[in-house]
Amino acid sequence: MIDISRELQVALNTGKVTLGYRESLKAVIDGSAKLVIIASNAPADVMNTVQHYAKISNVPVYVFQGSSWDLGAAVRKPFKISTIAIIDPGESNILTLAAQRTG
């Protein structure tokens, strides 16, 4: 089993990651996102919009099994984060979550 928090940290340090709904949605629409991670308690409109555009852009969506506070804590930020887009995984294995796709 993959340690999501650890892999997110490695991706943040060695790759390129966007945090937040608006930035993640831009990355999905412009085709630069390789994976989108969304908090399980994200508002329904946010979840539906991200999943809709991700499906069109053929970007896998992983639903993080925790709240947006937990997702923020996973990337060591003191605020809620509903959505994260992985642009470049760097040295992390975060893209293996695409195989566990739940969105």
Complete domains list, the chain, with CATH: 4-100 (3.30.1330.30)
The single residue listed with the structure tokens 């340090």 is: 13
Res 97: pLDDT: 83
Res 89: pLDDT: 95
State which amino acid sits at residue 62. Y
Res 99: pLDDT: 74
Length of the chain: 103
On whether the CB atoms of residues 93 and 9 are closer than 8 A, the answer is no
Res 98: pLDDT: 78
Res 100: pLDDT: 67
User: pLDDT (tens digit, 0 to 9) for every residue of the chain, 103 residues total?
Assistant: 678 999 999 999 999 999 999 999 999 999 999 999 999 999 999 999 999 999 999 999 999 999 999 999 999 999 999 999 999 999 999 998 877 655 5
Res 36: pLDDT: 97
Positive/negative CA dihedral, 82, 86, 87, 90 = positive
Res 2: pLDDT: 79
Res 103: pLDDT: 53
